[in-house]
Amino acid sequence: MSSDLVGDLLPERVSLPGQRRLRFAPSPTGDLHIGNVRTALFSYCLAGEAGRFLIRIEDTDQDRYQAESVPRYLETIAWLGMHWDEGPDRGGPCQPYVESERLPFFQAAADRLVGSGAAYFCFCSKERLDQLRAAQRTAGLPTRYDGHCRDLPGDESRARRSGGEPSVVRLRVPAGETRWDDLVLGPQLFDNESVDDQVLLKSDGFPTYHLAQVVDDHLMGITEVVRGVEWLSSTPKHLITYAALGWQPPRFAHVALVLGPDHSKLSKRHGAQTVNEFRDLGYLPEALVNFLAFLGWSPGTEEEIFDLAQLRQRMTFERLQSSPAILDQQRLDYLNGVWIRKLPVEQLAQRIEPFLPQAAPEQLIPIAAMVQERIRRLDQVPGLLAFAFTEPAPDADFLKGKLSREEALAFLQRVPELLAGNTSQLMEKLRELAHEQGGSDPATAKKFTQGAMRVLRVATTGAEVTPPLPESIDLIGTAAAQARVQRALEVLGAVS
RNA sequence: GCCCGCAUCGUCUAGCGGUUAGGACACCACUCUUUCAAGGUGGUAACCGGGGUUCGACUCCCCGUGCGGGUACCA
């Protein structure tokens, strides 16, 4: 078989210092999906502390390509705390890390395959292919290429190409079977009869994923490939291609997909599905990482709170799960709450800032302290603190609670003295007052305290649920609190 | 249609021939408490079905069912 190439332009495979090299190779077509991020996380963690993690941009589809995605992806990975040793922005020994900039390598590989007879040029039109598949389907046969151009004489093929006829390069799948030992699924066996003569090089000169992935994983010295099970049935094609090129393939780990609550593939109708969406909802990267890791992995112990560094230390291929996982947002919420509570207040204050632009800088830390134990997502902060930024308008019924109108009124009238001075004494003063009201019976006093607290809370905040009252009042200031109590008094007094 | 994968509480999972089938989320009580949280205590809840193999199956094998994936000049 001839090829019109001048030698083999393929570079040498990067020489390895014997360590693990895993990559994340996203296709830049929008925002990073939570499922993709999980495989990135697995790859990052499984590389281990001694291994290397790299990012490669798989932009081999010109139609779907979105340039803006690349920096966004990198930003997202970095936000989650993952560090890559090599990538499009920082280079490395296998530059470039963007596939569209590596076209000559793929073309050289394709030429080599054609040269050795492991691949061939195909001139079939899309229409012919569509008809073929439709016919096979109605006949109950598997849909696959029929080998129409498989044995075209070399000179005919050459002539048609030089005549300008568009062509693709297809893999010539040999008879036999393909097997490998999957790191997650165990031994796999495919009859090559069921493997299609896949297109490797498109008519626009770009490689398909199948070729690009094989060539680049080899050149970049990838040792293990972690990917979703949706790639399982194309693995034989990849293995055949590695063999035809005389290369040793990496090991494969096919992880199960992440599904929505209705057990179908995660999609828009399930709500948030990209990392950025989760971020905007107020989820911490620490929580997302912890959560995602457990969707398909577990340490085998009863520990469940892990940070990224611990995950990288502990994760192994053996403990990856082969069954699909459903994204359970309630559990994510729980973990997010755990991580929010673990944060130092100053840190939490910083993270709250974008969710609470109306807060003054000096308010942020006290606010963080107040909400830390009662939020599961950062976006709950504004709701919890609405009273601090808008004037409450409680109605008379709302103001009474457990106390009668008279009792509430009487209590409210005494609030100015309770609020005088420092709010830290508020509770103490209130207890004194309760003692006065309840006399010797502690149960009555307690009941009064509860009722009075509610009245005061509603009067000053307009809400039944707020952070602890003294702090809440501090947030708006005692002067404002006094004014609100006055207004409440008017509202309550007006009804008789 | 054809090829392939998966299968333990509602959910995430532990289990790798012999266990009272464990933990966590959620849920329900109780408790702590100025509300709400957080915390503590307890509770409800699972081995998809049928055949084998075995002294013994959640665990191994086969069939079925269910769910998922692939079936592109998309990844």
- What digits encode the pLDDT tens for the residues A87-117? 999 999 999 999 999 999 999 999 999 999 9
Q: For A380-399, how does the pLDDT look when each residue is reduced to its tens digit (9 = 90+)? A: 999 999 999 999 888 888 88
Checking each nucleotide's C1' against the CA of A60, the nearest proves to be B75
Contact indicator for A192, A175 with CB cutoff of 8 Å? yes
**Would residue A396 be called left, alpha or beta, if left means φ above 0 and alpha means ψ between -120 and 50 degrees?**
alpha
**Under 8 Å CB-to-CB from A275, ≥6 apart: which residues?**
A31, A32, A33, A34, A37, A76, A79, A80, A288
Q: Which residue has the tokens 């009804």?
A: A495
Q: How far apart are CA A492 and CA A496, in angstroms?
A: 8
Tell me if ipTM is over 0.90: yes
Q: For A166-214, how does the pLDDT look when each residue is reduced to its tens digit (9 = 90+)? A: 999 999 999 999 999 999 999 999 999 999 999 999 999 999 999 999 9
Residue A322: alpha-carbon gap to chain centroid:
20
CA distances from A408 to A319, A403, A425, A473, A494 (A): 61, 6, 21, 19, 13
Q: Could you tell me which residue, A236 or A5, shows the higher pLDDT?
A: A236
Q: Closest CA to B38 C1' — which residue?
A: A373
CATH level 2 (architecture), domain A1-118+174-196+207-342: 3-Layer(aba) Sandwich (3.40)
Contact indicator for A277, A270 with CB cutoff of 8 Å? no
**Which residue in A126, A202, A265, A268 is the catalytic one?**
A268
Query: Residue A434 pLDDT more than 90?
Result: no
Identify residue A10 by its one-letter amino acid code. L
Give the Cβ contact number of residue A389 at 10 Å: 13
Q: Could you tell me the pLDDT band of residue A266, with boundaries at 50, 70 and 90? A: confident
Q: Could you tell me the pLDDT band of residue A1, with boundaries at 50, 70 and 90? A: very low
Q: What is the pLDDT of residue A447?
A: 85
What DSSP string describes A257-268? PEE-TTSSB--G
Query: Residue A155 pLDDT more than 60?
Result: yes
User: In angstroms, how far is B70 C1' from A445 CA?
Assistant: 71
Q: For A48-101, how does the pLDDT look when each residue is reduced to its tens digit (9 = 90+)? A: 999 999 999 999 998 899 989 999 999 999 999 999 999 999 999 999 999 999
**Would residue A423 be called left, alpha or beta, if left means φ above 0 and alpha means ψ between -120 and 50 degrees?**
alpha
Between CA A192 and CA A248, with CA A39 as vertex, the angle to 5 degrees is 45
User: The dihedral of CA A150, A244, A253, A48: what is its sign?
Assistant: negative
User: In angstroms, how far is B22 C1' from A13 CA?
Assistant: 48
Q: How far apart are CA A334 and CA A340, in angstroms?
A: 10
Q: How far apart are CA A251 and CA A249, in angstroms?
A: 7
Checking each nucleotide's C1' against the CA of A463, the nearest proves to be B35
User: The dihedral of CA A442, A447, A452, A453: what is its sign?
Assistant: positive
Structure tokens belonging to residue A68: 């803006």
Bases on strand B under 7 Å from any protein CB: 1-8, 10-15, 22-26, 34-39, 67-75
Domain ranges of chain A: 1-118+174-196+207-342, 345-384, 396-493
Model pTM? 0.94
Helix (H, G, I), strand (E, B) or coil at A57: strand
User: In angstroms, how far is B17 C1' from A337 CA?
Assistant: 41
Question: Looking at residue A298, what DSSP letter applies?
Answer: -
Q: Closest CA to B74 C1' — which residue?
A: A61
Checking each nucleotide's C1' against the CA of A257, the nearest proves to be B68
Round the CA-based radius of gyration of chain A to a whole number and report it: 33
> For chain A, what is the mean pLDDT?
92
Helix (H, G, I), strand (E, B) or coil at A486: helix
Query: Residue A4 pLDDT more than 50?
Result: no
Query: Residue A7 pLDDT more than 90?
Result: no
Contact indicator for A72, A32 with CB cutoff of 8 Å? yes
Checking each nucleotide's C1' against the CA of A195, the nearest proves to be B3
Percent share of chain A, pLDDT over 70 = 98
Q: Could you tell me the pLDDT band of residue A425, with boundaries at 50, 70 and 90? A: confident
User: In angstroms, how far is B55 C1' from A306 CA?
Assistant: 44
Structure tokens belonging to residue A252: 């494969």
Q: Could you tell me the pLDDT band of residue A270, with boundaries at 50, 70 and 90? A: confident
Q: Which residue has the tokens 């281990």?
A: A48
Q: What is the pLDDT of residue A394?
A: 84
Query: Residue A496 pLDDT more than 60?
Result: no
* Catalytic annotation present for A429: no
Percent share of chain A, pLDDT over 90 = 79
Stretch A452-462: mean pLDDT, rounded?
A: 94
Q: Could you tell me which residue, A180 or A442, shows the higher pLDDT?
A: A180
Checking each nucleotide's C1' against the CA of A186, the nearest proves to be B5
Stretch A455-462: mean pLDDT, rounded?
A: 94
Contact indicator for A35, A65 with CB cutoff of 8 Å? no
User: In angstroms, how far is B25 C1' from A381 CA?
Assistant: 22
Q: Which of A251, A255, A78 is nearest to A87 (CA)?
A: A78
Query: Residue A6 pLDDT more than 70?
Result: no
Helix (H) or strand (E) holding A200, with range, is strand A199-201
Helix (H, G, I), strand (E, B) or coil at A361: helix
User: In angstroms, how far is B31 C1' from A303 CA?
Assistant: 26
- Taking the domain A396-493, which CATH number applies? 1.10.10.350
Q: Closest CA to B15 C1' — which residue?
A: A300
The 8 Å CB, 24+ separation contacts for A78-81 are A79/A275, A79/A279, A79/A285, A80/A37, A80/A41, A80/A275, A80/A285, A80/A288, A80/A289, A80/A308, A81/A285, A81/A286, A81/A289, A81/A308
CA distances from A90 to A21, A116, A225, A233 (A): 16, 36, 22, 33
Q: What is the pLDDT of residue A3?
A: 43
User: In angstroms, how far is B28 C1' from A240 CA?
Assistant: 57
Query: Residue A249 pLDDT more than 70?
Result: yes
